[in-house]
Copies of this chain bind each other. A is one copy, B any other.
């Protein structure tokens, strides 16, 4: 359908436009890329590419810029993922190795990604849905007041206050704590409900109410915290967006403040492999002139969460994809170690 050379022309247009931020013309193209043909020929090719919707002219008699469809083709067929240089890799590893806890890992990852790609970075906290329970702790704060602490294998800790229907003795508490742990430690969150279902029955009548309360709070925590958290960074990179800046940046900043939007954005990314959403492919209308590059990461084979960057559609896709992939890989390693 499109000859080899025309694809080459498209690739050249994308590369030049990403570099210069200005519409690129036929003459400039032949000068910068050894295409082996004259500007006139390139012009013909450009006309075809425009007919097919891969490139467009901002106004008559200006150069061409790639359309979303053009970038899509570029990403799918014309560009690979650019691997990072080994100094870069070392830098990533060193930087991430210094992290002391989960917050720190996520925080460092965000900064790293923002710096590497010079774009806005978004990192999702390891999801609880796929996590397993490392420990459940129950503390007695007052006669009829307990605190539930849930510790996950990814190092996350959640706590909840519980007001009991009746005072709950220390022995009962120790009993519940022991039984609870023996059942759920090492198990997945999603499995917990059925594992604890029959627990109240094995307690004395007077304690049953409290045990039920504790369990319902526990289950609630599991559900509630599946609603995932994010960290973002590098928003100052938005200033490199372009000239028509204020009008572009506004909706992006707004979208970035809405966790829901971001979660959906990352959520759309498929589990395996890298996802690139270009311009209007993004559902959210504030982000129609941005692209999102996202990938899952995890401690083992399975992705426990996602991370990615948000930038102008005119971005260096190979480089960005390379950075995102590399960072995801290293973060996975770090998580696996801890």
- Give residues in A with beta carbon < 8 Å to B: 101, 134-135, 137, 139, 141, 147, 149, 151, 157, 159-160, 233-236, 238-239, 245-246, 249-250, 253-254, 256-257
Determine how close the nearest CB of chain B comes to the CB of A238; give it in whole angstroms: 7
A137-B137 in contact (CB<8A): yes
Find A147's partner among B151, B250, B253 (CB 8 Å cutoff). Answer: B151
Find A239's partner among B101, B159, B250 (CB 8 Å cutoff). Answer: B250
Find A236's partner among B135, B157, B253 (CB 8 Å cutoff). Answer: B253
Determine how close the nearest CB of chain B comes to the CB of A13; give it in whole angstroms: 27
Determine how close the nearest CB of chain B comes to the CB of A338; give it in whole angstroms: 8
Chain B residues with Cβ below 8 Å from A256 are: 235
Chain B residues with Cβ below 8 Å from A157 are: 149, 157, 159
Residue of B nearest to A158 (CB): B157
Determine how close the nearest CB of chain B comes to the CB of A219; give it in whole angstroms: 16
7 CB < 8 A contacts A-B = A135-B141, A149-B149, A157-B157, A233-B257, A238-B253, A239-B249, A245-B245
Determine how close the nearest CB of chain B comes to the CB of A278; give it in whole angstroms: 23
Chain B residues with Cβ below 8 Å from A101 are: 160
- A151 to B238 Cα, complex, angstroms: 39
Chain B residues with Cβ below 8 Å from A139 are: 135, 137, 151
Residue of B nearest to A286 (CB): B236
Determine how close the nearest CB of chain B comes to the CB of A42; give it in whole angstroms: 34
Chain B residues with Cβ below 8 Å from A233 are: 257
Find A135's partner among B135, B147, B253 (CB 8 Å cutoff). Answer: B147
Chain B residues with Cβ below 8 Å from A135 are: 139, 141, 147
Chain B residues with Cβ below 8 Å from A253 are: 235-236, 238-239
Excluding A147-B151, A235-B235, 16 further A-B contacts by CB distance (< 8 Å) are A134-B141, A135-B139, A135-B147, A137-B139, A137-B149, A149-B149, A149-B157, A234-B257, A235-B253, A235-B256, A235-B257, A236-B257, A239-B250, A239-B253, A245-B245, A246-B246
Chain B residues with Cβ below 8 Å from A134 are: 141
Chain B residues with Cβ below 8 Å from A254 are: 236
- A160 to B103 Cα, complex, angstroms: 12
- A134 to B139 Cα, complex, angstroms: 11
**10 tightest CB-CB pairs across the interface, nearest first?**
A236-B253, A239-B250, A236-B254, A157-B159, A245-B246, A235-B253, A135-B139, A137-B139, A239-B246, A149-B149
Residue of B nearest to A235 (CB): B253
- A237 to B245 Cα, complex, angstroms: 14
- A257 to B120 Cα, complex, angstroms: 12
